[in-house]
């Protein structure tokens, strides 16, 4: 069966520090991968998605970037965090035939 | 846990009663819909989906109803249990079989003993 791992679960970082959140998927190949941010009382906001290695689409301009160095690995990064980057970040995957997106457990990022 | 859902509408139901959670969508071109359940501190969990060529679909203790005329989606949970307490939100796909879903803000379901 397919599983998705996302870490760390919580992270506290100072303003101006770098960020790296990692997401890996097991049990499937060539998944579509997604990074979302979830704000309190609002719907999920799609940040990036990827349909293959090295292929990244950005949905909103921001201080973040994403990379997909391997088929089942998706990384969310920042060179210098801002206070406004605080939030709950979710990674998800889907396969090309079924649209259902399956989510990781999320990372709670606090930028202080 | 995370602060998701602090200001969401809340539905409180008695344990054993049926719950109905509603969702309005805006794009008449949306043709695929999903309901997710999100417990505190966890990622969203897929519950049930429905395509626009259907108006009803049933799962285990859950039923999704789709009314395309008024662009309305509902999730019915039968015999609500304490473990059903969570935030529920719908997602619509605006591009047919594409990947770009639009997610609603959600409704918090509280099950009273």
CATH number at residue A18: 2.60.40.10
Q: Is B110 exposed, middle or buried (0-12, 13-18, 19+ CB in 10 A)?
A: middle
| N-terminal to C-terminal alpha carbon distance within chain A | 38
How far is A93 from A106, CA to CA, in rounded Å? 13
3-state secondary structure of B47: strand
At A61 the pLDDT is 72
CB contacts, 8 Å: B8 with chain A: 41
**Three-state secondary structure of A49-101:** EEEECCEEEECCCCCCEEEEEECCEEEEEECCCCHHHCEEEEEEEECCCCCCC
Task: Search chain A and give the residue with CA nearest B48.
Answer: A100
At B45 the pLDDT is 96
Contact between B32 and A99 using a beta-carbon 8 Å cutoff: yes
Mean pLDDT of chain A: 92
pLDDT score of B6 more than 60: no
- Name the band, by pLDDT with cuts 50, 70 and 90, for residue B98: low
Contact between B44 and A103 using a beta-carbon 8 Å cutoff: yes
With an 8 Å Cβ cutoff, is B32 touching chain A?
yes
Kindly report, residue by residue over B44-83, the tens digit of the pLDDT.
999 999 999 999 999 999 999 999 999 999 999 999 999 9
Task: Search chain A and give the residue with CA nearest B10.
Answer: A41
Percent share of chain A, pLDDT over 90: 79
Contact between B2 and A106 using a beta-carbon 8 Å cutoff: yes
Beta strands in chain B (DSSP E): 10-14, 19-24, 32-38, 45-51, 56-58, 62-67, 72-77, 86-93, 101-103, 107-112
CATH number of B10-112: 2.60.40.10
3-state secondary structure of B91: strand
What are the residue ranges spanned by the domains of chain B?
Answer: 10-112
Q: What residue numbers bound the domain in which A55 lies?
A: 3-97+105-111
With an 8 Å Cβ cutoff, is B45 touching chain A?
yes
Can you tell me the mean pLDDT for A92-98? 82
Can you tell me the mean pLDDT for B8-35? 92
CB contacts, 8 Å: B36 with chain A: 103
How far is A93 from A100, CA to CA, in rounded Å? 8
- Name the band, by pLDDT with cuts 50, 70 and 90, for residue B3: very low
pLDDT score of B2 more than 70: no
Least Cα separation, residue A79 to chain B (angstroms): 24
Count of the separate structural domains present in chain A? 1
Kindly report, residue by residue over A43-74, the tens digit of the pLDDT.
899 999 999 999 999 887 778 999 999 999 99
- Name the band, by pLDDT with cuts 50, 70 and 90, for residue A7: very high
Can you tell me the mean pLDDT for A66-92? 96
pLDDT score of A101 more than 70: yes
- The answer to whether residues B56 and B76 touch, using CB atoms and an 8 Å cutoff, is no
């Amino acid at each position: 069966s397919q599983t998705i791992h996302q870490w760390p679960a919580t992270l506290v970082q100072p303003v101006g520090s770098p960020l790296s959140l990692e997401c890996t998927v097991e049990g499937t190949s060539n998944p579509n991968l997604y990074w979302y941010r979830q704000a309190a009382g609002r719907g999920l906001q799609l940040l990036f998605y990827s349909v293959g290695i090295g292929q990244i689409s950005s949905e909103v301009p921001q201080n973040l970037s994403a990379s997909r160095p391997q088929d089942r690995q998706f990384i969310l990064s920042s060179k210098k965090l801002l206070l406004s980057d605080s939030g709950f970040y979710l990674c998800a995957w889907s396969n090309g035939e079924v649209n259902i997106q399956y989510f990781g457990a999320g990372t709670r990022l606090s930028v202080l | 846990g995370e602060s998701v859902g602090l200001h969401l509408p809340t539905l409180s139901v008695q344990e054993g009663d049926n719950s109905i959670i509603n969702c309005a969508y805006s794009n008449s071109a949306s043709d695929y819909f999903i309901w997710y359940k999100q417990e505190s501190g966890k990622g969203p969990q897929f519950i049930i989906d429905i395509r626009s060529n259907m108006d009803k679909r049933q799962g285990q203790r859950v039923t999704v109803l789709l009314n395309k005329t008024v662009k309305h989606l509902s999730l019915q949970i039968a015999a609500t249990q304490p473990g059903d307490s969570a935030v529920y939100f719908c997602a619509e796909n605006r591009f047919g079989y594409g990947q770009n879903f639009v997610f609603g803000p959600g409704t918090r379901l509280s099950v009273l003993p």
